[in-house]
Structure 1
């Protein structure tokens, strides 16, 4: 699976390595292309996943604010709900193309 924005591959991993949560594909941290994510100060806390870290995505076409997010330290109960530890996995805004 690939995550592509403005012709730039942001992440790439086998589908079996991804986690699907609430309709979003979460990519493992090692699958993220270097220098594409820039930490954002945007705050958000999910009631069942925990505190999110937002990222802006850097491509040749510019900086796309808050197009990605991750849960660096999800609530332990979230692992039971998802069935896997997804700490640090990254999901993308619908404007990012995710597919095979």
Structure 2
């Protein structure tokens, strides 16, 4: 598939947009999320981060975890553990319970690190986690880099 979007062309400050693409997340061999209702955040040098309605997570697969962080654009984040197939992915997800006004639609939604679960899929394409483990972007064949997160990209 030819790339249709380039992460270097995404805006800063980031843009929020709705998506009806099919997202599926697997942990411990169990599908813990399957939805066509999500938001994606597009920010320069980052693959999209996907915000999934908390209600789309299978019952018992999402629980609060310790810790908070601050995003200059979205506000204060809270963390969540993911549970599936007998596994616990500690602090593998985050949310913004009271996001900044520009990101108000993601209240009640949860994003997750693709590298901390078995697999994430968008429209059947397996997601590659954003490099570095700090950011939570999902790389698919329709988005090309370079992407922030790998060693040496901190100053981008």
Which bin holds the TM-score, normalised by the shorter protein? 0.7 to 0.9
Query: Could you tell me which residue of structure 2 aligns to residue 10 of structure 1?
Result: 32
2:41 is the alignment partner of 1:41: no
Shift of 1:6: 2.4
SS of residue in 1 equivalent to 2:60: coil
Alpha-carbon shift at residue 61 of structure 1 (Å): 3.6
Q: SS at 2:55's partner residue?
A: helix
Q: What's the RMSD between the two structures over aligned residues?
A: 1.5
Q: How many residues align?
A: 93
Identify which of structures 1 and 2 has the higher relative contact order when contacts are C-alpha pairs closer than 8 Å and 6+ apart: 1
Which residue is equivalent to 1:87?
107
Unaligned residue ranges in structure 1 (runs of 5+) = 80-84
1:27 equivalent in alignment to 2:27: no
CA-CA distance at 1:77 after TM superposition: 2.8
Where do 5+ consecutive residues of structure 2 fail to align?
Answer: 1-22, 43-47, 124-156
1:78, CA displacement in angstroms?
A: 2.9
Q: CA deviation at 1:68?
A: 0.9
Q: Distance in 2 between matches of 1:92 and 1:36?
A: 12
